[in-house]
Structure formats: C-alpha cells, structure tokens
Amino acid sequence: MRFILAFILSAVLPAFSLGGQAAVSHEAGPVGRVESGRVRGVTREGLAIFKGIPYAQPPVGPLRWRPPQPVKAWSDIRPATEFGHDCMQLPFPNDAAPLRTTPSEDCLYLNVWAPAHPAHRSLPVMVWIHGGGFVNGGSSPAVYSGAAFARHGIVFVSFNYRLGRFGFFAFPALKQEGGHMGNYAFMDQIAALKWVKKNIAAFGGNPDHVTVFGESAGGMSVNFLLTSPLARGLFQQAMVESGGGRDTVLPPTPLDHPGPNDQPSAEQTSIAFAELMGIHGTDALAALRALPAEKIVNGINMASMFQQRKIYSGPMLDGQVMAQSPEQVFKEGKQAKVPVVIGANSLDIGFTTAKTLDELFKPFGAKAAEARAAFDPKQDTPFKEVAQRVGAVRIMVEPARFVARVVVASGQPAYQYRFSYVATAVRKQYPGAPHSSEIPYAFDTLRESMWSDFGKGITAGDLRIAKQMNEYWVNFAKTGNPNGPGLPHWSKVAPHGNELMNFTEQGPKTETDPWKIWEDLVEAIQP
C-alpha cells in the first residue's frame, strides 16, 4: 500500500494562505503548498518527507554577505525529494556526521518529516540546528533523520545555514549597504524559523508550538536564539545539547575594536583576509564577492579554525543581530522565558593551552589545591585526561548548569541532563561519552552513527537507551516536560537543588550531580 499525505484545503480560505492546511495529494508523492509555491515529497513507512525546500534565495554573487532574501515564487510543482546542497565548507576526515551532498554556496534549504496520516493537524514542531563549529556540518547526514520524531507525531524540520566566512564576515564596506551585517549564519537561522512560522501548518505542524534544539555550534545557536530579541516569538521551547552558555568557547568577537587578549576585531579579520587574497581599494568588496567559493573557504574547517583566528572572526557582537553576548543576556535575565532542556556529555569537548598540572590549575588561585583534588583525586591520571576533564567542565558542563539556573530564576522550568552512555561496541575505547555521541540516541538513529561502530554490534541495551532518550525529547516537545509513561522520572532543576537526569550504562537515572564541586570551582574563576 502506498502512503499518501493528504493536505486538506479549507473551504473558507483562498487556494492557500499562510497558516492554512492546504494542498492536494498526488500518487507521485505528497504535495504541500508553501508561501512560494507547491512542493512534492515522498511517502515512506507512513511518513511524508520533503527535502531541499528553499527558505531563502541562494546567497551567491551580489547576495554573498547579504541578509537572507525571500524566495522567488515558482509556478510548477517543485520536486522536494533530495537534500539541497549543504553549505560551502571543507569537510574534515572522520566527521561523526558525514555529509551526503556536495557543499555549495547555494545551500539555504530545509527538510520536513511529518506523519503521512496525522490524527490531527496541529502537531508539535521540532527544528534542528546542526553543529560543526560554525565551519562544518549540514542537514544531510543520515544520523539527523527526523523519522523517529515524526513516527511519534512530531513535525520535524532541519535546515542549513551559512558557515565560515560565508556566515561571519564584517568587511567595513558592507556597512554602506545598510541593514544587518556580519552574522549571516544567525540571520539564516532566524529566516528558517520565520519560514516555519509561516509555512509549517501546510505540513500539519502548529506554528505556535515550536521547539528549537541543536548540538555543539547548534546548541550555541540555540543559546543565541534564546537571547536575541530578533528571535522572540519564533519558538516556545528550547533544548541545548553541549552548547555551553558562557563566553569560554568562541566568545563573540567585537565588531570594530579589539577584544580580550588582543583578539582582533571582526572588521580586522575581514580586512586581513582580503589582504591575504591581494584585494584592497575602492572595489574591494566587489572583488571579494567575485572570488571563487573555495578561495573564501581557504582551508578552514574544524581541524584548522583556531589557526585562522587572525583572518576569521566567527560570531560577532554586531550591535544588531547580537548586541550582547548570550552570557551577558543570561546574567541580566533578559533571555526568552521558555522551558529549556540543557546538558552535556561525560567526556565532552574541552580545550586548554596549559602544558603542566601547575599551569592547568593556576587560574583557580587559592582553590588550586582543592581543584586538583577534585579533578584528579588519586593524583595518578595522565595530564592529557585531567586537562580534557577541566576543559570540558569549564566549557560545557558548568555553563549548562549556569543556563539552567538562570532559566529557573526567571520562573521557567529547566531540565538538566548528563549523557554518560557509551555504545557497547566502543565502550573499551572511551572512558566516557564523547562530544556529540548523544545525537544518535536523541534521534534514535543508532544504525546511522559512527558511535555504534557504523551500525555493527548494536545491542539491546544501546537500542533501549536510544528509545528512551528519543521519548524524553518527544515528550518535552509535546508538553514542555520530558516525563512520560514508562520512563524513569526526570526532576526539574530546583532553585538550590543539584539533581539531573544521567543517561548511564544502567539506564536513565535522576541523581545528585557528582560534579557539583567542579561547578563551584569553575564558577569561582569565571570573569
């Protein structure tokens, strides 16, 4: 039997109006009508899947380094069966989420998974923002399939946003064009959420019941969206997976003046890049826009990004899209007042420039001895492991606790987690759950994940944790509370409490956070 998504045209509306239910189904595949025209997807195992729907014009030629522009309408039914290009980048080896497209500047596309025959036509929506350090990643990796969410009655959306210098560039001549400049990646994210607000009802989704979630750079993006007035009203709930929350990873670069530790301004990095390309003078901006995309990439990826800090800014304080850093907004309690799930992994990512234990613990000052005892209680752990642990707690673990406390202090519920589960097939290789390894469990896509040895050796325990974690994520999207029948209880963050949900090798457990002392130490050295 072929599953067909039937979009019902309301008799009291015109052929299609934003917020309507519209469109007609075809034997060739489900057809949905969005603001710019009709799209035809595919049906598979009871799901309607649409890929490669444009949410903005291709940001190429004169649109390179401009805010995302509205899509031009089309008259025929547009195929939506293949992913659009992931955004231009230099992929790096051993990526945990390998791309399935050829990267291109023409990349502002999104994808939708929805139930083919929903019980009702106002379903919760989840919008995923991929990670990759703002220089890598995309929506095409198999591990990001929205199928499991859609099978639970969710309308799932993923999208691409500009990366690297395409996403963050502040050449001074851009000011003359007016409007927002600099943080094009964040402008893309806001544009994608506005597309969801206008069009998701055509796929059975409720535009006023949207959960935005992301991991790593995607989690940092969620923190940005929580703290940007330009994103207000575009989502009602948020989930941050290993996204920090402090200004300790890729702190926003000042637009036109140097930052801490002689950090060049965003304008300075853009000028330096132009000079590297041999470009200067009155026609410099036109010359920069004429450069081949590969020249703009200039070899930047996750492996090389920190080596290009003098010619690449990353996210910046532009005074408009990002007027303050997320941490500052959180401290002032001015973030969006929405329920939040936030957490980090037990072996999360961490960085340090220290070469010895004395250097590593010197910033703790009078608490250095206490910190050393907490991070290396037996004083026999290799330096590299201790340094990674300190970096992970300072960069990911403590900031997650910080954001959770801010949300609770503002009167909104927050749920904190720690992901400690390691797939059976790689358990001997990892003493904890590495950065990003929670994704295939949240998405219930273990068979598409490198963390399960590319699908080999998956055990019943692995699958059980994936099913449970996915259900928690679904429950939160539906109700703002991750709890549900058959699941161990997940307690809310209390104002002065210390409980979180730990996804362990024995299953999910609400427990007292054993790393609380680490938070106290890290909090003491925050600026």
Same structural domain, 390 and 333: no
Same structural domain, 316 and 434: no
Q: Answer yes or no: is pLDDT of 14 > 70.
A: no
Across the range 439-467, mean pLDDT stands at 84
Q: Answer yes or no: is pLDDT of 371 > 90.
A: no
Closest among 435, 405, 436, 423 to 519, alpha carbons compared: 405
Across the range 260-283, mean pLDDT stands at 94
pLDDT band, very low/low/confident/very high, at 119 (cuts 50, 70, 90): confident
Q: How many domains would you assign to the chain?
A: 2
pLDDT band, very low/low/confident/very high, at 2 (cuts 50, 70, 90): very low
φ, ψ for residue 480 (rounded to 5)? Answer: 80, 10
Positive or negative, the CA dihedral 143, 344, 253, 306 is: negative
pLDDT band, very low/low/confident/very high, at 262 (cuts 50, 70, 90): confident
List the single range of 48-57, 175-184, 204-213 with lowest mean pLDDT. 175-184
Across the range 71-96, mean pLDDT stands at 95
Same structural domain, 435 and 298: no
Closest among 90, 211, 225 to 156, alpha carbons compared: 211
Residues 6+ apart with CB under 8 A from 93: none
Quote the domain boundaries for residue 179: 1-338
Same structural domain, 306 and 397: no
Q: Where among 319, 338, 357 does a domain terminate?
A: 338
Same structural domain, 276 and 328: yes
Same structural domain, 356 and 330: no
Same structural domain, 349 and 334: no
Q: Give per-residue pLDDT as tens, 137-176.
A: 999 999 999 999 999 999 999 999 999 999 999 999 999 9
Contact assessment for residue 38 and residue 78, using Cβ atoms and an 8 Å cutoff: yes
Same structural domain, 327 and 353: no
Same structural domain, 494 and 412: yes
Same structural domain, 326 and 384: no
Same structural domain, 101 and 158: yes
Could you tell me which residue, 515 or 130, shows the higher pLDDT?
130
Kind plus residue range of the DSSP H or E element containing 369: helix 368-375
Same structural domain, 55 and 187: yes
Ramachandran region, residue 226 (left: φ > 0; alpha: ψ -120 to 50; beta: rest): alpha
Q: Give per-residue pLDDT as tens, 236-255.
A: 999 999 999 998 777 899 99
**CATH code for the domain in which residue 353 is found:** 3.40.50.1820
Q: Where among 313, 338, 363 does a domain terminate?
A: 338
Q: Where among 289, 307, 338 does a domain terminate?
A: 338
